[in-house]
Amino acid sequence: MADRYGTDVLSGDWRKPPRGRSVEVVAERGMVVEDATTGFVGEIMVVEKDLGMMVLEDRRNTRRSFPFGPGFLLDGAPVVLRPQAARAPKTSARTASGSRTVEDTRARVALPSRIYVEGRHDAELVEKVWGADLRVEGVAVEYLGGIDDLVGVVDEFDPGAGRRLGVLVDHLVPGSKETRLAEQVSGREHVLVVGHPYVDVWQSIKPDRLGLEAWPVIPRGTDWKHGICEALGWPHTDQADIARAWKHLLSRVDSYADLEPSFLGRVEELIDFVTVP
């Protein structure tokens, strides 16, 4: 005789996802899901589309990272979690820096004047926000790979009238190594050295663009970029992981509104300095 009430609901391995076809669901912040393999249940706090993962936080405030894909339960049903599809870019009458777009204008031949920044990430961030303006003005931005030999860099550039040099420095705060180096050239004619207060240019991106209230504080002696990735639950084993993290951060920047004012002001100051007739 058939059992009209079915089998014992507590029998078998309850950790395995129930049978049935998984439904594809967009992972969104605030959604509570369970990893069927480990049984970890948590709220989706961060969706890292470029890194291919999301960060869950359980009721004990423990955070763990999981890749998108199958193997999750939502309200007890199996789902395949995926990130939000990319939206089509909107056309705008203004550039990312807030300037009015200049139509039908070719990039000018680069002027003798230059803007130097410390590293590749600084240069890529400046290009993303001010690139259109700089091409119209004919200003090239180059990265130095550090400013330990700033005096030699300035000497080699040989600034003069019509050949100005602007330098953007990270962590330009009283008592820092960067401040001491900048002071060695700050009095030279046709040279302007300015800086922002952040340890790394990553911090010039507003933390709320990443779903954070503030950037994590990294203890002294720890590589800052690796420390940030570890604190946010991102892979940080090698330089390739750091490069992917930066690519993700840069993707969160669409315009000047995504950057801290203390960074914006210094870049604008340099652009004005090197483009003065």
Q: What is the pLDDT of residues 102-124, one digit of tens each?
A: 554 554 445 789 999 999 999 99
Q: What's the rounded mean pLDDT across residues 72-78?
A: 90
Q: Where are the alpha helices (DSSP H) in the chain?
A: 120-137, 150-157, 177-183, 224-231, 239-251, 261-275
Dihedral of alpha carbons 250, 253, 254, 256, sign: negative
Amino acid 4: pLDDT: 44
Quick check: 98 and 129 in contact, CB under 8 A?
no
Q: Which tens digits make up the pLDDT trace of 167-180?
A: 999 999 999 999 99
pTM of the model: 0.64
Amino acid 18: pLDDT: 47
**Share of residues in the chain with pLDDT > 70 (%):** 84
Question: b/e map of 93-130 (b: 16 or more CB within 10 Å)?
Answer: eebbbeeeeeeeeeeeeeeebbbbbbbebbbbbbbbbb
Work out the mean pLDDT of the chain and round it to a whole number.
85
In the chain, domain spans? 23-82, 114-205+253-275
pLDDT band at 97; cut points 50, 70, 90? low
CATH architecture group of domain 23-82: Roll (2.30)
Quick check: 259 and 129 in contact, CB under 8 A?
yes
**Share of residues in the chain with pLDDT > 90 (%):** 58
pLDDT band at 6; cut points 50, 70, 90? very low
Amino acid 2: pLDDT: 45
206, two tokens: 């507003």
Q: Any residues with CB less than 8 A from the CB of 189 and at least 6 apart, and which?
A: 159
Amino acid 94: pLDDT: 62
Amino acid 103: pLDDT: 53
When mean pLDDT is compared across 32-46, 76-90, 180-194, 233-247, the lowest value belongs to: 76-90
Amino acid 100: pLDDT: 54
Q: Which tens digits make up the pLDDT trace of 40-60?
A: 999 998 888 877 888 888 988
CATH number of 114-205+253-275: 3.40.50
